Amino acid sequence: MRRICIAGNWKMNTTISEGEQLASALVERMKSQSATVDVVLCPPFPHLQSVGKALEGSALALGAQTMHFEEKGAYTGEVSPVMLEGLCRFVIIGHSERRQYFAETDATVNQKVKAALAHSLTPIVCVGESLDIRHAGSFLSHIESQVKAAFDGVTLGNGSEVLVAYEPIWAIGTGLAASKEQAQEVIGSIRSTLKSIYGDAIADFIRILYGGSTNAENIDSFLAEGDIDGALVGGASLKVDSFAGMVEKAAGAGR
């Protein structure tokens, strides 16, 4: 059985001290739930050390929100996988905001997935369609091509771990979450695509999250769907009560 994963993407929010306080409060509140649910906090880069310190000795894990695929070089402002290795365990790759505002493409997502795995980082690979693509009815083929591109030439095995997050762009930060049926339809299809690439055994092991306006009120409905293994959470990850509330519901989901 796949363990539920609830990952918080803080995006460009919180000061260093707010981040420390949020992380410490979450550690305190989640002592029991984190035994059954994987909880990941993805703060901004400058917080990785201080939040990492706040998480020490707890079961909560740390992730970055993006990274460059090169190990080093003249890439002003970028952070490399070498810098993240040992500092955090997870890294979000190809979030739709990165694709929209920072020109990330399926090709760079693929390079980043390879770089993450080469540096013992677990990528959370984001895919999802715009409202136009949803309305045009071509969302399943759009997402299939994003998944195939992200994993092109990527070898999995020997304990290498990846997660996929299905995040419909129209549901992110809008308060308009996908329905559980919409999320399950796409996530089931992502699992089929992964099966076609890696075979059943590996694809059945990969956790696929839903993201887009999740909160403590709607998380239950997603977790009741067979293929949905957790959530990538934006807005609701910034408040102790809402994020801890989601983890508490996930711990009660009986997986």
Question: What are the binding residues for substrate?
Answer: 9-11, 173, 213, 234-235
Q: Which of 51, 60, 125, 172 binds ligand PGA (CB under 6 A)?
A: 172
Q: Which of 46, 86, 173, 226 binds ligand PGA (CB under 6 A)?
A: 173
Please report how close the Cβ of residue 6 comes to ligand PGA at its closest, in angstroms.
Answer: 11
Please report how close the Cβ of residue 179 comes to ligand PGA at its closest, in angstroms.
Answer: 15
CA dist 38 and 247 (Å) reads 9
* Both structure tokens of 101: 């505002």
CA dist 188 and 167 (Å) reads 14
Please report how close the Cβ of residue 210 comes to ligand PGA at its closest, in angstroms.
Answer: 10
CA dist 56 and 185 (Å) reads 38
Please report how close the Cβ of residue 213 comes to ligand PGA at its closest, in angstroms.
Answer: 4
Name which of 42 and 113 has its Cβ closer to ligand PGA. Answer: 42
Name which of 19 and 168 has its Cβ closer to ligand PGA. Answer: 168
For the question of residue 225 being annotated catalytic, the response is no
Nearest-10 crossing angle of helices 180-198, 139-150: 40
Site pattern 198..237 for ligand PGA (x: CB under 6 A): -------------xxxx-----------------xxxxx-
Name which of 100 and 138 has its Cβ closer to ligand PGA. Answer: 100
CA dist 104 and 165 (Å) reads 16
Q: What type of residue is 72?
A: K
- CA diameter of the chain: 48
Name which of 197 and 240 has its Cβ closer to ligand PGA. Answer: 240
SS3 for 45? Answer: helix
Site pattern 3..42 for ligand PGA (x: CB under 6 A): ------x---------------------------------
For the question of residue 95 being annotated catalytic, the response is yes
* Both structure tokens of 235: 């807005």
Q: Among 95, 104, 129, 248, which one carries the catalytic annotation?
A: 95
SS3 for 124? Answer: strand
SS3 for 217? Answer: coil
* Both structure tokens of 155: 């070898």
Binding-site residue positions: 9-11, 173, 213, 234-235
CA dist 224 and 228 (Å) reads 8
Please report how close the Cβ of residue 158 comes to ligand PGA at its closest, in angstroms.
Answer: 29
Query: Cβ-count burial of 206 within 10 angstroms (0-12 exposed, 13-18 middle, 19+ buried)?
Result: buried
Q: Tell me which residues are annotated as active site.
A: 95, 167
Summarize as ranges the residues that interact with ligand PGA (CB under 6 A).
Answer: 9, 167, 172-173, 211-214, 232-236
